[in-house]
C-alpha cells in the first residue's frame, strides 16, 4: 500500500477525482468503456462533487462509464432516502450524463431466497463488463471495506452479510436510532474488490486514524479485512493529516 497525506479532504478528493476523470477520458479516446466500482458514505462525497463540477464546467462525459456500487442495506427500498441507491443518484448519477442502463447498485429488496442467485449474477455482470478498472473505497471503524466485516474471507464474492454492531452504531444517527438500522446488507466480496485493476481508499478525520494504522501497519488478518489490501499491487490510501496521525 502506498499512502498520500493531504492537508485536508478537499485537496485529497480533488486529486482522486482528477485520476478518475483522466481514466474516463483515456478510455473514451480509445473507444472503450470505463468500469468504476463506487462507494457511498461520507468519505467519497467531495470526490463526487468534483466529478459533477468537471462534468458541468470541463465537459467531462460519463457516456462511456459503467458503475458498480459496493453495497446496499438489506432489506432497503431503493427510493428510501437512506438507501445507497438514493445516495448515488443524489450525489452523482442525477447530475451527469451516465446511461442509467450502465448503473448498478445492489438491489436491497431481493427476496431472501433469491439473494444467492442475485449475488452470483451481480458478480457475473462485473466480469462481463470486463472487470473493475478502478475501485473507490472508504473504510469502516471495524476495518470493513464494502460491508466486508471482520471474519470475511480473502476470496469472498458478492453476498449477503450481517452488519457488525460498531457499523450499526456508526450508522445510527442517519437512521435516527440504532433500532432503525438494518441488520443485513448485500456487499461485493473481498475477492471482488481485489480483482480491481486499481484501488483508491479514502479516509478522513481522527475517527479513522486507529483503523488506518492497523490496516497499513498491522498483520494481514480477516479480523481487519482492509489489511487484505496490503497484497494488492496497485492500491493507494488517500488520507488527511488527522486520519494519518497514528502512522509511524
Ligand atoms: C459504503 C461502504 C463502507 C463505507 C465505510 C466508511 O459504500 O462500502 O465501507 O465506505 O463504512 O463510511 P464513511 O465514509 O461514512 O465513514
Q: Is residue 146 part of a domain?
A: yes
Q: Kindly indicate whether the ipTM for this predicted assembly is greater than 0.95, answering yes or no.
A: yes
Distance 9 CA to ligand 1 centre (A): 15
Is 89 catalytic? The answer is no
The per-residue pLDDT for range 173-223, each reduced to its tens digit, is 999 999 999 999 999 999 999 999 999 999 999 999 999 999 999 999 999
Instruction: Give pLDDT, residue 155.
Output: 98
What local confidence, expressed as pLDDT, does residue 140 receive? Answer: 98
Cα 77 to averaged position of ligand 1 atoms, centre (Å): 19
Q: What is the pLDDT of residues 31-52, one digit of tens each?
A: 999 999 999 999 999 999 999 9
Q: Is the CB of 12 under 6 A from ligand 1?
A: no
Q: Does residue 248 sit within a domain?
A: no
Between β-strands 199-203 and 103-104, what pairing exists: parallel, antiparallel or unpaired? Answer: unpaired
Cβ pair 141, 205 in contact under 8 A? no
Per-residue pLDDT, 154: 98
Cell of 162: 450481517
List strand residue ranges (DSSP E) for 7-48, in order: 34-38
Number of structural domains the chain divides into: 1
Closest Cα to atom 3 of ligand 1: 146
Structural domain includes residue 247 = no
Active site residue 71: yes
Q: Is residue 54 part of a domain?
A: yes
CATH of the domain at 78: 3.40.50.1360
Which residue's CA is minimally distant from atom 9 of ligand 1? Answer: 146
Q: What pTM does this model have?
A: 0.98
pLDDT in tens, 231-247: 999 999 999 999 999 99
| pLDDT exceeds 90 at position 1 | no
Do the domain assignments include residue 226? yes
| Catalytic position from the list 50, 72, 133, 149 | 149
Q: Is residue 64 part of a domain?
A: yes
For residue 246, tell me if it sits in a domain: no
Cα(39) to centroid of ligand 1, in Å?
A: 7
CB contact at 8 A, 106 and 117:
no
Respond yes or no: is residue 179 known to be catalytic: no
Q: Is 245 inside any structural domain?
A: no
Domain that holds residue 211: 2-240
Q: Ligand 1 mean position to 128 CA, how many Å? A: 26
Amino acid at each position: 500500500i502506498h499512502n498520500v497525506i493531504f492537508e485536508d479532504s478537499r485537496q485529497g478528493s480533488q486529486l482522486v477525482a482528477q485520476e478518475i476523470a483522466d481514466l474516463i477520458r483515456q478510455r473514451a479516446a480509445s473507444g472503450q468503456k470505463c468500469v468504476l466500482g463506487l462507494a457511498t458514505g461520507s468519505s467519497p462525497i467531495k470526490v463526487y462533487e468534483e466529478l459533477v463540477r468537471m462534468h458541468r464546467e470541463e465537459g467531462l462525459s460519463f457516456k462511456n462509464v459503467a458503475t458498480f456500487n459496493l453495497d446496499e442495506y438489506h432489506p432497503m427500498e431503493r427510493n428510501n432516502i437512506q438507501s445507497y441507491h438514493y445516495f448515488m443518484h443524489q450525489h452523482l448519477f442525477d447530475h451527469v450524463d451516465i446511461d442509467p442502463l450502465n448503473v448498478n447498485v445492489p438491489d436491497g429488496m431481493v427476496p431472501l431466497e433469491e439473494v444467492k442467485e442475485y449475488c452470483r449474477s451481480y458478480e457475473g455482470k462485473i466480469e462481463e463488463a470486463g472487470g473493475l478498472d478502478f475501485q473507490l473505497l472508504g473504510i469502516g471503524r471495524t476495518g470493513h471495506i464494502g460491508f466486508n466485516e471482520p471474519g470475511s474471507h480473502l476470496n469472498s464474492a458478492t453476498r449477503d452479510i450481517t452488519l457488525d454492531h460498531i457499523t450499526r452504531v456508526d450508522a445510527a444517527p442517519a437512521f435516527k436510532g440504532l433500532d432503525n438500522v438494518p441488520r443485513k446488507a448485500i456487499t461485493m466480496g473481498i475477492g471482488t474488490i481485489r480483482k480491481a485493476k486499481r484501488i483508491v481508499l479514502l479516509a478522513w478525520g481522527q475517527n479513522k486514524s486507529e483503523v488506518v494504522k492497523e490496516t497499513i501497519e498491522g498483520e494481514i488478518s480477516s479480523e481487519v479485512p482492509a489489511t487484505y489490501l496490503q497484497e494488492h499491487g496497485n492500491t493507494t490510501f488517500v488520507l488527511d493529516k488527522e486520519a494519518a496521525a497514528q502512522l509511524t
